[in-house]
Structure 1
Amino acid sequence: MTTCRLCGSSNLASVVDLGATPPCERFLTSEQLDEEEPSFPLHLRVCTSCWLAQIPPLITPEETFTEYAYFSSYSRSWVDHAKSFVDAAVDRLALGRDSFVVEVASNDGYLLKHVVQQGIRCLGIEPSRNVGEAARAEGVPTSTTFLSESSGSEVRDGHGPADLVVANNVYAHIPDIVGFTKGLRALVADDGWVSIEVQHLLTLINNVQYDTIYHEHFQYYTVESARNALDSGGLSLVDVELLDTHGGSIRLWARPREVTGEQSARMVDVLEKEKAAGLHELSGYADFSANVTRVRLDLLRFLVAMEEAGKSVVGYGAPGKGNTLLNHCGIRTDLLPYTVDRNPYKHGRFTPGTRIPVLPPERIAADRPDYVLVLPWNLKAEIMTQLSYVAEWGGKLVFPIPRLEIVEVNS
């Protein structure tokens, strides 16, 4: 990669090089274990002109999202988060039965089902056929397509302009930022709102959340770089909320450039926090690679020590982020014999690259391991409740990020 995908600058500086890994959601069937498995470089760089952090666009969204392994509704906390957002947005924007809400990358309808329940007209735009079918089965109108300026215009022509366009956890997933942003502008009414949730680069850097760097995520945003990206498509950022989701996210509120008001005080505050952390210059990125190495070594030392001591360690969860961690650390079945996941789609499959079996969650209670390595560490509170039963045999939970933490749970 020689130029920035947002501004075209050639001023790209290395942040961390994680080697080469397979795509994080390409879970293998048993029949695929003896087949060749492609891997791609995973090297994060930052543009010193517009401050967009990015990886090379080596995998197209069509390769990843036509058939997708992630279903949002399997996380209870994520469904609750979506409901809270819908309730707050309805109040904030005075949405009613005459309103129209569109969600881009609507997955299995985890969010829009709350819009449907309020009697508000809505439409999901979801490129993955399998999860889109699940949404329609739940009564959420869903169009199977990728968002672009032309498809956004088609939706607007067919359904009318949207009072609210939601794009949660998708703004990092598209290599054509400008075209996608123009698609958002095409969808939204001239006096409407766009709400975007995306992981905050500030918390990624500060908390060494390097496992969220994977091929589905083409870029990583500060509020400063998000403002630049939105402007490229005719939208202006006017407000920002800090969220706890995914270890630390930002909710961006944008409007068509023609109706933009003043920036909110909390947006100005977050921009100042980023500047103080050095993320609008190279100094804020200088220690990240060394901190990644520390996380890797701490986890490997623990797993090797437990193997030598005859203690059992298994995994919990099979998220995309977990596969970055497992591959970067070189963890395979000798140190982690299996992981479990609540999503039946992944049962009987194997993690990409490391070939670790994914089993149903009930396996943990049957085997009673000494330690459970939690790969979706961002759902810590939810998972500590789900795994409280490991206390029955004195089991402990292990969280690898931002630093290795061994936690006793109460049954």
Structure 2
Amino acid sequence: MKNRICRVCKSTAVKPFLDLGNQPHGDSFIATKDLNEHEPHYPLRACFCLDCTTAQIDYTVPKEVMFEYYPYVSGTTRMLKEHFEKSTERLIKKLKLKKGDFVVDIGSNDGTWLECYKNTGIRFLGIDGAKNLAKIANAKGLETWPKFFNKKIAQEVIAKKGGANLVTAAGVFFHLEELHSVTEGIAELIGGTGVLCVQAIYLGEMVNIGAFDQIYHEHLTYWTLRSIEHLLGYYGLEVFSVEFFPIHGGTIEYLIAKNGVRKIEPSVAAMRSKEKKLRLGDIKTFEKFGARVWEMKKELIPILRKYKKKEKRIFALGAPIKGSTLLNSFGIGTELVECAVEVNPLKIGKYIPGVRIPIKDERTAGEPDAYLVLPWNFLPELLRKMESYIKGGGAFIVPVPKPMVIDKNNYHKFTKK
């Protein structure tokens, strides 16, 4: 469904700044038996609201198509597990959470974040519309409702469990088709004294490093402090703390409460000042970002072709949804990348949508001459994991932020001492 009306403020002053063409839903991995079936494609256009400055895509693939069966599993990434563990410790300390308090995690996936509360005495509940992931979480003893959160579900939680001292939403706020219903529901759920913790890929860092592959159909909105404050203002909520984390290529944590309940920390004013300097309220900033994407293509394709010309084998390392965006946007198929390798059993044996690159088990696929690193946001972890491969003559082709090759000659520049 095309939507050239702002998802936040309902303005019609919404202007496109990057058109990535028609693409399949990036997580709709194809089984071998379905290779001859019709594959739906949808417009993938990034736009900017001239009124409230929210970046967003203008076409909505129904959430039931994207999320009821979801192949991304949080627990497969060690770096993300560690991030959630540290976040839990920090939030318990900062918010003075105690035994008997209640935490609700929206978009809780396989329960990776919920698991961090297991031995704290804090009550918790996960809510996730992906039935396959909710089943995994429940099997681990982590109570999870297989539902899409909205105002109605918030009221159901309150009726059955009571209000929440903390609501967490990591990697969720850009997914929300029912954006206003969800935000209104959260406002009810946290009551007068609770806190909402939103962790989201930061638009400012996306623009800074050229991370266009964070744009895909699941990501309906892309947040800055200014734009999320506009949304929160409708529901009597305000940001009282902002913190930046490097995970996912740049993530911002917003701590949010009812107006006047929490003291506004200096980090909020500092972020406003930073966003002003970055000109994140100016459409020209995003038009430059859009133009930069096609320069990246001009740099990446020759690197891949150089390897193929020498009859070298290239595998994609991982098959994240961001990889679907990059491969389909740049027209990279099996003529350049032989296959992708994965550890996620929900993806192994299938094909990347659109470009139809087969996905093999990383443990049995063998080693190529080079890997195209699609989950570049986990580069430090991947370099540690595959140090012997690099030192043995293999190479990483990293597409973002600037296409480059990491091999045994320059490996030391990208690893911490």
Place the TM-score, normalised by the shorter chain, in its bin: over 0.9
Instruction: Say if 1:181 and 1:232, in contact at 8 Å, map to a contact too.
Output: no
- CA-based RMSD of the aligned residues comes to 1.4
Q: Which moved more, 1:30-39 or 1:401-410?
A: 401-410
Partner AA of 2:380 in structure 1: A
Unaligned runs of 5+ in 2: 413-417
> How far off its partner does 1:262 sit?
4.3
Task: Write the mapping of 1:345-360 to structure 2, written as runs, cut at 5 A.
Answer: 345-360=346-361
> How far off its partner does 1:260 sit?
3.3
> How far off its partner does 1:361 sit?
1.0
Instruction: Say if 1:223 and 1:270, in contact at 8 Å, map to a contact too.
Output: yes
> How far off its partner does 1:349 sit?
0.3
- Counterpart-to-counterpart distance in 2, 1:267 and 1:196: 14
Return the match for 1:32 from 2, 24, 34. 34
Aligned to 2:390: 391
Q: Residue 406 in 1 paired to residue 408 in 2?
A: no
Aligned to 1:51: 53
Return the match for 2:133 from 131, 134, 145. 131
Partner AA of 2:342 in structure 1: D
Q: Could you list the per-position Cα deviations for residues 342-398 of structure 1 after superposition, in whole angstroms to 9, with x for gaps in the alignment?
A: 10111100000011111111245x2x3211111000001111112223135400111
Q: Could you list the per-position Cα deviations for residues 78-131 of structure 1 after superposition, in whole angstroms to 9, with x for gaps in the alignment?
A: 011001000111111111212111100000010010111222110001111110
Return the match for 2:86 from 74, 84, 87. 84
- Counterpart-to-counterpart distance in 2, 1:231 and 1:139: 37
Aligned to 1:119: 121
Q: Which moved more, 1:182-191 or 1:199-208?
A: 182-191
Q: Which moved more, 1:276-285 or 1:353-362?
A: 276-285
- Counterpart-to-counterpart distance in 2, 1:152 and 1:60: 21
> How far off its partner does 1:334 sit?
1.1
Instruction: Say if 2:60 and 2:177, in contact at 8 Å, map to a contact too.
Output: no
Unaligned runs of 5+ in 1: none
Partner AA of 1:170 in structure 2: V
How many matched pairs?
408
Instruction: Say if 1:200 and 1:221, in contact at 8 Å, map to a contact too.
Output: yes
Return the match for 1:230 from 214, 229, 232. 232
> How far off its partner does 1:9 sit?
0.9
Identity %: 31
Instruction: Say if 1:106 and 1:124, in contact at 8 Å, map to a contact too.
Output: yes
Aligned-partner SS, 2:94: helix
Aligned-partner SS, 1:238: strand
Partner AA of 1:224 in structure 2: R
Instruction: Say if 2:316 and 2:373, in contact at 8 Å, map to a contact too.
Output: yes
Q: Could you list the per-position Cα deviations for residues 118-165 of structure 1 after superposition, in whole angstroms to 9, with x for gaps in the alignment?
A: 221100011111101111111111111111111101101110111000
Aligned to 2:101: 99
Q: Residue 143 in 1 paired to residue 145 in 2?
A: yes
Instruction: Say if 1:208 and 1:291, in contact at 8 Å, map to a contact too.
Output: yes
Aligned-partner SS, 1:287: helix
- Counterpart-to-counterpart distance in 1, 2:30 and 2:386: 26
Aligned to 2:415: none
Partner AA of 1:344 in structure 2: P
- Counterpart-to-counterpart distance in 1, 2:341 and 2:396: 14
User: TM-score, normalization: structure 2?
Assistant: 0.95
- Counterpart-to-counterpart distance in 2, 1:356 and 1:325: 13
Task: Write the mapping of 1:247-258 to structure 2, written as runs, cut at 5 A.
Answer: 247-257=249-259
Return the match for 1:188 from 184, 190, 194. 190
Instruction: Say if 1:193 and 1:255, in contact at 8 Å, map to a contact too.
Output: yes
Partner AA of 1:317 in structure 2: G
Aligned to 2:281: 280
Aligned to 1:22: 24
Instruction: Say if 1:338 and 1:358, in contact at 8 Å, map to a contact too.
Output: yes
Q: Residue 381 in 1 paired to residue 383 in 2?
A: no
Partner AA of 1:34 in structure 2: N
Return the match for 1:216 from 215, 218, 226. 218
Aligned to 1:302: 303
Aligned to 2:177: 175
Aligned to 1:372: 371
Q: Which moved more, 1:352-361 or 1:384-393?
A: 384-393
Aligned-partner SS, 1:136: helix
Task: Write the mapping of 1:256-271 to structure 2, written as runs, cut at 5 A.
Answer: 256-257=258-259, 259-271=260-272
- Counterpart-to-counterpart distance in 1, 2:294 and 2:225: 27
Q: Residue 241 in 1 paired to residue 260 in 2?
A: no
Partner AA of 2:56 in structure 1: Q
Aligned to 2:320: 319
Return the match for 2:70 from 47, 68, 71. 68
Q: Quick one: structure 1 residues 334 and 363, their matched pair in 2 at CA, closer, same or farther if it must change by over 3 Å? A: farther
Q: Could you list the per-position Cα deviations for residues 278-321 of structure 1 after superposition, in whole angstroms to 9, with x for gaps in the alignment?
A: 11122322311221001112111111121112222111011000
After superposing on structure 2, the runs of 4+ consecutive aligned residues of structure 1 that deviate more than 6 Å are none
Instruction: Say if 1:57 and 1:175, in contact at 8 Å, map to a contact too.
Output: no
> How far off its partner does 1:239 sit?
1.2
- Counterpart-to-counterpart distance in 1, 2:275 and 2:106: 28
Aligned-partner SS, 1:362: coil
> How far off its partner does 1:182 sit?
0.8
Aligned-partner SS, 1:43: strand
Aligned-partner SS, 1:20: strand
Partner AA of 2:378 in structure 1: L
User: TM-score, normalization: structure 1?
Assistant: 0.96
